[in-house]
Structures are given as structure tokens and as C-alpha cells.
Structure 1
Amino acid sequence: MTQSPDASGLKAVFVNATLKKSPEPSHTDGLVDKSAEILTAHGVEVTRLRAIDHDIATGVYPDMTEHGWETDAWPGILEQIMAADILVLAGPIWLGDNSSVMKQVIERLYSASGILNGAGQYAFYGKVAGCLITGNEDGVKHCAMNVLYSLQHVGFTIPPQADAGWIGEAGPGPSYLDEGSGGPENDFTNRNTTFMTYNLLHLAGMFRAAGGIPAFGNQRTVWDSGVHEFHHNPEYR
């Protein structure tokens, strides 16, 4: 049997993009519970939040109060994500797609695309991410593709099989936590959620041990300084 991972010192943030404000029950929270419990059992410090509970402004800058908005809760949320090793975006399916809140969260993550880490790389380098999707209509894979593409585009690393989800009978059918839905007992969902969580955990631990992603050939600061390795202009031009 392989050795249980040492996750002491790792931090994870789950952002639930449900349309329901607390304390209204969220089916997505039910699936987040399963992943968060695994991480917590291995010593990971877990933070959970519902984006809709916070006054997040719309826009693509790190702090929208600098662009005409009176308030913006995103800078505080971004600070928690920056301090974490693992990010999991979770949300429901609406009209076969991610929720409007999920899209807003992804837009605001994109707002940090100009921030660099201490090695001159994009800020999310060395952090891992995955996603959880719930719904009572088709669309789990479509939603996961959109979320995971967006996360890797802004710099997160996506481990193998980094998504999991549950959908009920083609709608309007039962939702994940509804009595008799079979959601919490579904072996396929539980297996995928478990594998996703451990893959996130393993890769985050590897990055911690290695000090992140090697800073060679991917440093924005070096590129901006004019050093373009393997992209020299040919002399005959």
C-alpha cells in the first residue's frame, strides 16, 4: 500500500458559485463536504465560502473600487486564494452551463493575470486547482471543461481527473441532497470526487517540496527585460 500523503502546512480554498445565499441549503455544498473532509483529515487547512454571500463587483481588475465601484469584496477573497495551495471551484448547472456567479468568479481570477510571484512568474504558478459540478440536468463535462480551461489559462496547474460531479434524472429531477436522489451514495461521483481530491493533494505536496514550478523559460519579468531564449531574430532579416 502506498504511503498516506503528508499535507501538513497545505491550505485549500473552496469557492461555491451557487445562486443561493447563506443559510439556504446548497446542493453543491453537499458535494464540497466530501472533498473538504478528505483534505481536513490529512491536515489541510480548508477555507470555504459562497461567492454570492460577498459583495463582489463585476469587472476584470483586482480591485474594482479603483474603477468606479463603491465596494468590492474580491480583493479579500483573492488574498485567501493567493495564500492557498489548492483551489476548488464548485457550482451548479443552469441551462446546461455554469452559473453566472461561477463566470463572475472566473472573470475576477483573470483579473489577477498581471500579478507576478517572487520568481517573476504569473501569480498562480505552483498552485493546483479542480472543480465540482452539481445539477439536475445534463452538462457536468461541459461545465468542467470551461472551468478547468479557465483555471489553467490563468496559471493554475490541473492534475489528472481534477473534476467530479453529479446530475440527477433529466430535469426537472431531484437535486443532489434531495431525499431519495441517490446523490450522496453514488459510487461514480464518490470515486471521482475522492480521486480528484487526492490528486490535488499529491500535486500540491509535490509543488511544495519542489518550491513550485521551475522558473526558467516562463518568467514574465525576464521576457519583458528583452531576454527571449530561443526567439532570437535571424541575422538575415
Structure 2
Amino acid sequence: MTAPVSERPDFTGLRALYINCTLNRSPERSHTQGVIDRSVAIMDANGVSVDQFRAVDHDIATGVRPNMTEHGWETDEWPALLERVLAADILVIGGPIWLGDNSSVTRRVIERLYGYSGVLNEQGQYSYYGRVGGALLTGNEDGLKHCAMSILFSLQHIGFTIPPQADAGWIGEVGPGPSYLDEGSGGPENDFANRNISFMTYNLLHTASMIRRAGGFPAYGNQRAAWDAGCRPDNANPEHR
């Protein structure tokens, strides 16, 4: 049996953002928040700076552009929220499961993240390169893995790095029944859920720490401007000199 690693890594300086995609505005109770709080507690214990917000508390316009006021919407709080995304090394999207799928709020957040994915960073890569993504979910019906697949695929597609086991959640028994924070649900005490939340959180921290120590995600072979200029490693391009 492999001995447990006892030396705690140093995650000082890392920043994490949790976006809660509950349908309930503050200060209504959010079961998603209960799951998020478990992960945040681990981040706090490791000296990570944590930011979080409920998307539904903000006026986020529908669309796939960085600022929808430039496309017919009178107001849009997303540009200010995006600055908080870009300030974080780790992004965790948390949300409820309804009808076996992610909430409408979750989908809107992902669409707005997508709207900035074509912008390039200082190394000429797509803007989210060097950031790490994860997913937290809860509900009292099936669909956890489906929802996690959708979130994590979307995040990696737009440039986030996804660690191993980067999702966790709690659904209890499938069908009508208690939700995560309801008395007697067993959610906060569930060993399986707590183990997965812990593993997810530490895997996010390890991956973000490795990327930071490397000075960002390596830029060789993934720079858009270089590709457009004809610099295409391992691709035949006789016109490039």
C-alpha cells in the first residue's frame, strides 16, 4: 500500500473563482452553495484567495459577445464579471440539475465565457490558456455526469486546462426527495461526495500550481498569430520562410 503524502504543497498566491449558477437569487438558500462551500473551505485552508458570485444576482445579457451593450442590449454586467474570471487561476462552475441537465443560468454563463475565447493573451494564445476549470453539481435527480461532461467539455474547448477528476457533486436518491442542505438528506455527511469534492479541489490546485511554476501554459505550437503568419510546427508549409 502506498504511503500517504504528508508534506502539504504551497498553494499561496493562487486565486480561485466560483460561479454559482443556482436559480435562486441571494439571500435565498442555494443547495449548490452548500457543495461549493465544501470546496471553498479547502481552498481557504490552503491560503488560496477565493472569489465567488451567484450569476443570477447580476444582469447578464444573453449572447456570445464580450459586451452585449455593443449588440443591442441596454445593460450588461458581464464585462465586469469577466474581469473576475480573468483574475483567477481556477474557475469552478457550480450549478443545479433540472430535467437531467444544467440550469439555464449555467448555459448562459458558458455562452458568455465562450464570447471572449477568441481574444489572445500576452503569449498569443487564446485568452483562457493557463487557467484551470472544474465543475460542482447538485440536485435530487439523475444527470450529474451528463452535466459535468457538458461543463468540462465547454471549458476545455475554450482553453481551460481540465485536471483529472475535475467534477464532483451530490444527488442523493434519484427522484423527488431531499436536496443537499435539507435536514436529514445525508448530503453534507456523504463520504463519497466529500471525497470527490476534496479530490477535485486538490487536483485543481495542483494543476494550477504546476502551470504557474511553468510560467503559464507552454506556447509552442498553439499561437494563433504565429499560425496565421505561416509558422506551423510539424505542418507542411513550403510557402513559409
TM over 0.5: yes
In the TM superposition, residue 212 of structure 1 has moved relative to its aligned partner by 1.1
Structure 1 residues 173-223: Cα deviation after superposition (integer angstroms, max 9, x where no partner): 110000000000000000000000000001111111101111100001101
2:77 maps to 73
Residue matched to 2:203:
199
Offset of residue 232 of structure 1: 2.2
Q: Check the 8 A contact 2:148/2:167 in 1, yes or no.
A: yes
TM-score by length of 2: 0.95
2:115 aligned counterpart, secondary structure: helix
Determine the structure 2 residue equivalent to 1:7: 11
Q: Which residue of the partner structure matches residue 133 of structure 2?
A: 129
- Secondary structure in 2 matching 1:62: coil
Structure 1 regions of 5+ residues with no counterpart? Answer: none
Residue number in structure 1 paired with 2:180:
176
Corresponding residue number in structure 2 for 1:208:
212
Distance 1:217 1:3 in 2: 35
In the alignment, the residues of structure 2 paired with residue 199 and residue 181 of structure 1 have an alpha-carbon distance, to the nearest angstrom, of 27
Query: Where does structure 1 differ by over 4 angstroms across 4 or more consecutive aligned residues?
Result: none
- Would you say how many aligned residue pairs link Structure 1 and Structure 2? 235
Answer whether contact 2:230 2:237 (CA < 8 A) is retained. no
Q: Is the 8 A contact 2:60 2:78 kept in 1?
A: yes
1:5 aligns to what SS in structure 2? Answer: coil
Residues of 2 paired with 1:5 and 1:68: CA distance? 48
Q: Equivalent residue for 1:25?
A: 29
Per-residue CA deviation, residues 69-110 of structure 1 (Å, 9 max, x unaligned), is: 011111111111101000000000000000000000000010
| CA deviations over 1:123-179 (Å, ceiling 9, x no partner) | 111110100000000010000000000000000000000000100222211100000
Report the equivalent of 1:99: 103
- Please give the alpha-carbon distance, in whole angstroms, between the structure 2 residues aligned to 1:231 and 1:206: 29
Shift of 1:225: 1.5
Partner of 2:166: 162
Q: For residue 94 of structure 1, what is the amino acid of its counterpart?
A: W
The TM-score, its normalising length taken from structure 1, stands at: 0.97
Amino acid at match of 1:217: G
**Alignment-mate amino acid for residue 157 of structure 2:** H
| 2-structure distance, mates of 1:25, 1:216 | 46
SS of alignment partner, residue 195 of structure 2: helix
Q: What is the DSSP-based 3-state SS (H/G/I as helix, E as strand, rest coil) of the residue aligned with 2:170? A: strand
* RMSD value, Cα: 1.1
The residue type equivalent to 1:85 in the other structure is: D
Q: Give 2:193's match in structure 1, choosing from 185, 189, 194.
A: 189
When residues 214 and 233 of structure 1 are mapped into structure 2, their CA distance, relative to the original with a 3 A threshold, is closer
1:50 to 29, 51, 54: 54
Measure, in 1, the Cα distance between the counterparts of 2:168 and 2:123.
33
Amino acid at match of 1:177: L
Q: Name the counterpart of 2:142.
A: 138
Task: Give structure 2 stretches of 5+ with no counterpart.
Answer: none
State the 1:234 CA deviation: 6.9
% same residue: 68
**Which letter does structure 2 place at the counterpart of 1:66?**
E
